Chains A and B, each alone.
Chain A
Amino acid sequence: MIATTYAIQWVLVFATSALLILVGAVGVISVKNPVHAALCLIMTLIGVAVAFVAQLADFLAAVQIIVYAGAIVVLFLFVIMFLGVDRREHIHFEPLVGQRAFAGVGVAITVAGLITLMAKSHWVSGAASVTTKLSSGNGNVRELGTAVFTTYLFAFEATAALLIIAVVGAVLLARRERATPEEEA
C-alpha cells in the first residue's frame, strides 16, 4: 500500500511539513500564553500549506495562508489583545457539567475514525497524486472553479448563504438595542 513513488525530496518536504504541523499543534494546547498559542496555530497552518504545495494544490496553499493565517488568526489575536492575556483562566472550573468526559469520548471517536480511515486508504508518505492523477500542474484554479461552480454548486451556494446568515446574525446581536424607556435613566 505504501506509495510507489517514494522519492527522497518528497519525503523531506513531508517530514518538514509534518514537523511544523505537529510542533505547532502541540504548542497550541500546551503553551500558557494565549498569544503564543495563536502563534503556534499559525505555524500549524503554514505547515498545512506546505503539505498542500507538496500535493500540487498551490491554490489551496495560498488560500490557506491568506484566509486562515492572514485573517482568522488575526481576529483571534484581536480578541486576545482586547480581553487582556493577563487574566487568569481557572482550568478546574467546568462551565458545562461533565464536559471532560464528553471530550474524552469525542477524542476516542475521532482517533478511531482516523485509524479506520488510515487502514483503508493510502498511507501518507508525501507522494503526490496517489489517488488520482491531476490533469496538469498548472490548472489548479480552473479545475477547482469548474468543480465548485458545476458539480458542487448547491453546496457552495449553501455555504455562502450560511456565512451571510452568520454575519447578519452577528451584526444583530452586537447592535445595542434600546431597552425599555424606563430603564434609560
Chain B
Amino acid sequence: MNWLAIVDPLFDHGVDVAVIVIVVVKCLVGLGLLMTSVILMIWFERKAISDMQSRIGPQRWGPFGLLQTLADGLKLILKEDLIPSEADRTVFKLAPFLVLVPAIITFGLVPIGGTMTIAGHTVLLQVANPPMGILLLLAMSGISVYGVMLAGWSSGSKYPLLSSVRASAQMISYEAALGMTIVTVVLVTGSLSVHNIVTSQSHGIWHWNLIRLGVVPFVVFVIAITAELNRPPFDVVEAESELVGGFHTEYSSFRFAIFFLAEYMNTITMSAIIVTLFLGGPAGWAPNVAHLKWLFPIAWFLLKTIGFAFCYIWFRASLPRFRYDQLMDLGWKRLIPLSLGWMLIVAGFLVAPGWGFMMGAVVLIAYSVLARAFSLGQSREVGADSVLPVVGRRPLPGEVLRSMTDEEGD
C-alpha cells in the first residue's frame, strides 16, 4: 500500500481505524460544506441580483431571508412528482443523478486549506487528492454531459430534446479549450495532482498561475468554464424565449430540485477550481499565530471563491445571452486556437527562452493562416441557394428491405 503515501501524507503509516475515520469525516464535512454553500449561494445570487435590479429580494424566512432556499426546497419536494407518458422512464429517473454525482465528486478535488495535524496524522484539507488529479475534473464534466443530454431526450418532448442537443454540443465544444488551458497549468506545475498545483503557487503572488502563465489561459478558462456550466451569458440551453425552459422542462418536484442543486454546486465548485488553478488556492498572507495558522488559508480560499461566485452573479445580471452560432464561433474559432497556441508558447518557454520565441513566431504565422481561412470561409456563398441536392448515395439497408417488401407484399 506504499503507493498511497505518494498521493496523500495521511497514508504515510499505513491504513488503520483512525485513518478510515478521518477519511469518512472528510467526506461528510465536504458534503455538508457543499450543501450549506449551495443554500447560501442561491440566497446570495437572489439578493445580489435584487440589489442590481433595485428590488428587495428574499426577506421573509430567517434573518435577511437566509432560509428562503430551504423553504423553496421543501416546497419542491412536497410537490407532485410527474413523469410524462411519452418519457423513457428509466433514463428519465437516471438523468438527474448523472448531473448530481459528478458535481459532488468534482468538489472533492478542491483543496480548501493547507494541512492540519489530527492525532498524529497529517491531513490535507481536501476530500481526495487522486494521482489523476485535475483530469478528474474533465472526466466528470464529460459524464455530466450525459445527464443533460439524456434528461432532454428521455422527456419525450420537442423543446427539451432541442435544448439537450444544444447543451451537449456546447459542452463538448468548450471542453477542448478547457482541456488545453488545464494542460498549460499542468505543464508549468509538472504534476497532475491538485495539491501540487496549489503548493507550486504558494510562494507569493508572482508565482500564481494567473501571472506566471500570462493572463490568457486564465481568461480562456473562465470563459470556457462558464460555458461548461451553462451559466449566463452562455445559457442558450435554457433560453426561455426559444426553448420554454430547457432540458428540464418536463421535470418536476425533487428531480427538478436536483438539477438546480447540481447547477449551483457546479457554480461553486468551478469558482473554487478557478481559484485553485490560477489564484494559488488557499495561498495568501498569514500571521505567525501558533494555533490559528490553519485558519488563514481557509479564509483566503473562501474570500477568493466568493469573489468569483459574485462574478458569476454579476455576469448573469449584466450580460445578454449569446446567440447559438456566436457561441460556437467563440468556442471553435477563437478559444481553441488561442489556448492551443498559448500552450505551445508556454511549453517552448519551459524548455528555453529561444524555443519560446520561436514557438511564438510559429503560432503567429499559424494564426495569420487561420485568419485568412476564416475570412475566405465567411465570404463563401451561403444560404438556401448554395445547398444543392446530393449527387447520389448508397441506400440504407432499411430502404433496400422496404423496397423489397413493397414489391412482394403491397
Q: Which residues of A contact B (CB under 8 A)?
A: 33, 35-36, 39, 42, 53, 56, 58-59, 61-63, 65-66, 69-71, 74, 77-78, 81, 87, 89-90, 93, 95, 136-138, 140-141, 176-179, 183-184
Q: Quick check: A179 and B391 within 8 Å, CB to CB?
A: yes
Q: Quick check: A138 and B397 within 8 Å, CB to CB?
A: no
Q: Quick check: B138 and A66 within 8 Å, CB to CB?
A: yes
Task: Report if A71-B7 is in contact (Cβ < 8 Å); known contacts: A39-B91, A61-B132.
Answer: no
A-B CB contacts (within 8 Å), total count = 104
Identify which of B142, B165, B193, B401 contacts A71 (C-beta below 8 A).
Answer: B142
Q: Quick check: B397 and A95 within 8 Å, CB to CB?
A: yes
Residues of A within 8 A of B7 (CB): 137-138
Q: Which residues of B contact A (CB under 8 A)?
A: 2-4, 6-7, 88, 90-91, 94, 130-132, 135-136, 138-139, 141-143, 145-146, 149-150, 153-154, 161, 165, 168, 172, 175, 179, 191-193, 387-391, 397-398, 400-401
C-alpha gap A136/B2 in the complex (Å): 10
* Chain A facing B: main interface SS: helix
C-alpha gap A77/B179 in the complex (Å): 22
CB<8 Å pairs between A and B, sample of 14 = A39-B94, A39-B150, A58-B130, A59-B135, A65-B139, A66-B138, A70-B138, A70-B139, A70-B172, A78-B165, A137-B6, A141-B192, A176-B388, A184-B389
Chain B proximity of A118: nearest CB distance (Å): 27
By beta carbon, the residue of chain B nearest A94 is B397
Given A74-B149, A95-B400; 5 other pairs, CB 8 A cutoff: A74-B146, A81-B161, A136-B3, A138-B191, A177-B388
By beta carbon, the residue of chain A nearest B190 is A142
C-alpha gap A87/B399 in the complex (Å): 12
Residues of A within 8 A of B6 (CB): 136-138
C-alpha gap A67/B352 in the complex (Å): 32
Q: Quick check: A140 and B131 within 8 Å, CB to CB?
A: yes
Q: Quick check: B91 and A176 within 8 Å, CB to CB?
A: no
C-alpha gap A78/B173 in the complex (Å): 14
Chain A proximity of B208: nearest CB distance (Å): 23
C-alpha gap A141/B282 in the complex (Å): 26
Residues of A within 8 A of B130 (CB): 58
Chain A proximity of B55: nearest CB distance (Å): 40
Residues of B within 8 A of A33 (CB): 88
Residues of B within 8 A of A39 (CB): 91, 94, 146, 150
By beta carbon, the residue of chain A nearest B90 is A36
Chain B proximity of A63: nearest CB distance (Å): 7
